[in-house]
Amino acid sequence: MTLGTIFLSETCGTAILLLLGAGVVANNILPKNKGNGTGFLMVNWGWGIAVFAGVLVAYKSGGHLNPAVTLGVAASGAKEFVPGIPVDAASIFTYIGAQMLGAFIGAVLAWLAYKKQFDGDAPDGFKLGVFSTGPEVRSYGWNVVTEALGTFVLVFVVLAAGHWGDSATKTPGGLGWLGALGVALLIVGIGASLGGPTGYAINPARDLGPRIAHAVLPIPNKGSSDWAYSWVPVVGPIIGGVVAGLAAGVLLPK
């Protein structure tokens, strides 16, 4: 296993994540779509399945797809991300760089899939909403709290799931791809429970990479990329992920 393999794996997985995740939002909120108006719960399920697909594709790297997950694993005291890849500065930057690139690529692919809808009449906020999140009530401090809590749940539960099948708990292992299904259901649950205030980015790459894509793509009447808010879905998830990793090191016995 090499860092090059990790980079390619995370890039491909995160691109699939954003293609499907941004796609379900576009289908739901842009006019002249078969899925227009199907609602937030459909978006939750779409993102859950997007994570499921992305994790399966990124099997070589462990399917982080999210800097908050990478940093949470590091904070938990893990020695390796996957066999042969130690937790160090080089591997952390490799994961995060790949996640950012993959998120950008996936967002561009989603734009291509919905090109005619983006070219048509739609509020500029809807067009931005396909790419990145935004709060229903803008209160930066509380928006950070919401994002941190949602990400804490994600990372803490993912780290807990990693103990299934280990020698300490003697629980049954061998779940294979069903482990990815568990993460997908967790994403649906977080969205349904905690996603309302901010749209639950819970992933810095998922929000920042597509926001950059929105800024550079030739989308008619796209409006602002809302850079004033852009730090919230970066800082909140990083806080939540790192705290979850630290808590897992204490509360989740090995």
Structure tokens belonging to residue 86:
């130690």
Mean pLDDT calculated for residue range 16-36: 95
Q: Where are the alpha helices (DSSP H) in the chain?
A: 3-29, 40-57, 67-75, 89-113, 115-119, 124-131, 140-161, 178-194, 204-216, 232-251
**pLDDT per position as a tens digit, 5-20:** 999 999 999 999 999 9
Q: pLDDT confidence of 56, banded at 50, 70, 90?
A: very high
- Assess whether pLDDT exceeds 60 at residue 138: yes
Structure tokens belonging to residue 215:
């800024």
N-term to C-term CA, the chain: 25
pLDDT reported for residue 170: 53
Percent pLDDT > 90 in the chain is 85
pLDDT reported for residue 11: 98
pLDDT reported for residue 122: 83
**Exposed, middle or buried, 159 (CB in 10 Å: 0-12/13-18/19+)?**
buried
Q: Count the residues in the chain.
A: 254
Q: pLDDT confidence of 48, banded at 50, 70, 90?
A: very high
**pLDDT per position as a tens digit, 158-217:** 999 877 765 454 555 555 556 788 899 999 999 999 999 999 999 999 999 999 999 999
Q: What is the mean pLDDT of the chain?
A: 93
Mean pLDDT calculated for residue range 116-143: 94
Q: pLDDT confidence of 121, banded at 50, 70, 90?
A: confident
Structure tokens belonging to residue 128:
């931005």
pLDDT reported for residue 178: 60
Are 103 and 14 in contact by the 8 Å Cβ rule? The answer is yes
pLDDT reported for residue 172: 53
- What does the DSSP 8-state code read for residue 163? T
CATH of domain 3-248: 1.20.1080.10
Phi, psi angle pair for 81, to nearest 5° = -75, -50
Of 32-41, 68-77, 130-139, 172-181, which gets the smallest average pLDDT?
172-181
One-letter amino acid of 153: V
CA 94 to chain centroid: 17
**pLDDT per position as a tens digit, 207-251:** 999 999 999 999 999 999 999 999 999 999 999 999 999 999 899
Mean pLDDT calculated for residue range 109-133: 93
